A and B are shown apart, each in its own frame.
Chain A
Amino acid sequence: MVDHIKFTTEIAEDWKSVLSLLHHDKYNHCIKRIRDASSTSQLQSKLWLVSEIVNLNIDVERVALLAGWYANFITPLLVDELGVKYILNLDSDPDVKTISYKFNKRHKINKDQTKNRDVVCLYRCETHDVMFKPINYGYFDLVINTSCEHMFPMKKFRELNGGNSNPIYVLQSSNDRQYDDHINCVDSADELADQSDIVDVMYSGERELSNGMTRYMVIGR
């Protein structure tokens, strides 16, 4: 079981740079969201996710994060626990790109590609609404969406991105209907699998997080 993030000096440096950024007027509206993205329940759900992928012994090199927010917890977990080589984070919020690059600066793709040679994993972030436009960034072994309650059922994404690739989907949602932006809550992992057209279920489960909400997770194709 994965129960912690390896807090290295590199991570410390990157995360410190996020705090520096928040001193600028241009970004101080992001403080609350960064705090929300750094909560206990956020970490719990990401540790759970990576633990189950480790348990399934899935070989993963390229990962797409859908609505991955700042990818502050998931990136070090994917790199250190699974040896992921490439992470693409697609989020519709324009602030995410700048801030998530700060959080993950050690993995950021440089325009000068020769500088990337020593980087263990490359991280890329784009402002992109994944339900309206297909993603055209090559193949992915794993597509992770831990924000399913915020968007249209994932069957739509799969329709948009059919093609020849057949990634494993890792999906999380919740039954917490108190927030207006939770527009697609579910009441079971089965419901999440069903609305996402997951027929080959490799893992399915639920967990109560520290904030009291029940979180559901499905891994499969």
Chain B
Amino acid sequence: MMNNILCIKWGDKYDDSYVEKLNEQCEENCSVPFKFWCFTDKPEKDWHIPIPTILDKFFDEKRGFFWAYRKCYMFNHGQIPNDNSHFPDNSKFLFLDLDVIIHQDLKYFFELPNDKPWIVRGWWNDIHMVKQNYAKHKSTPINSSAILWKSGQMMPVWEHVKKHNELIFFTYASLDNYFAHHWYDPWNEDSGFLRGFPQGDIYSWYKGNVFPDDMELKKLRLGHKICLFNNSKESNDVGELKLLW
């Protein structure tokens, strides 16, 4: 199976240095062969893949709902017969947001069982609040900053987004919230389509690690695999990450 590490970059929030740095971190922290790809709105290099635009018309910039929809293109790309120009069948895909710091060997992820796709389970969330706020579309337990799947495995998600485009873009403020409502079950966490990475794998710089016992913010945990810099606040300072590179 071919291992692929994917990232995605659009707009101006992150400059090219974030992509370069992620690539560099992967080179330094992955002991199994892999190919690095970037879905981008400004393709220039042979490892750049142009981001499709077919969902753009459903995005209402004023409301800003489902703003990370471009990530969904990855779930389809390369899965169409006769369109596997980038990815051969039987590929594995590890998607990473641009604002992550990799601490440990990514080989770990490529060796996880692949009967189901994996996604970040935000263990820093209080599960009681997750359930209390489920209908309010808040306190989402899922985070799409890192996703792992094999060829074809995420196609049902892509098909669902395509089929219910208008409805999904209207209803869900975030991709994570959409995932939590349709592809994950906070009441029975082993039963969903998506499976959460175990505790100890991925933590958040701005939100902590595991509720309630390890919630110190802005603390590096080098024994974990990946640190996320997810922050839903508008004031998210992308520069803070650079200080830790």
Contact = CB atoms under 8 A, between A and B. Distances in A.
A29 B131 contact: yes
A94 B187 contact: yes
Contact of A131 (B132, B136, B171, B185): B171
Say which size band chain A's interface belongs to: 20 to 34
Contact of A180 (B136, B166, B185): B136
Contact of A181 (B132, B135, B164, B170): B135
A151 B171 contact: yes
B181 interface: yes
B138 A181 contact: yes
Contacts of B36: none
Contacts of B170: 152, 183-184
A183 B128 contact: no
A156 interface: yes
Interface string B187-210: 100000000000000000000000
Interface string A67-105: 000000000000000000000000111110000000000
A181 B137 contact: yes
A140 to B, nearest CB: 22
Given A28-B128, A94-B187, A152-B171, A132 B135 contact: no
A28 B126 CA distance: 13
Contacts, number: 47
Chain A facing B: main interface SS: loop
B166 to A, nearest CB: 8
The number of chain B residues touching the other chain, given as a range, is: 20 to 34
Contacts of A180: 136-138, 173
A33 interface: yes
A156 B164 CA distance: 11
A94 B70 CA distance: 29
A33 B181 CA distance: 19
B134 interface: yes
B217 interface: no
A24 interface: no
Interface string B128-168: 11011011111000000000000000000000000010110
Interface of A: 28-30, 32-33, 91-95, 129, 131-132, 150-152, 156, 179-181, 183-184
Interface of B: 65, 128-129, 131-132, 134-138, 164, 166-167, 170-171, 173, 181-182, 185, 187
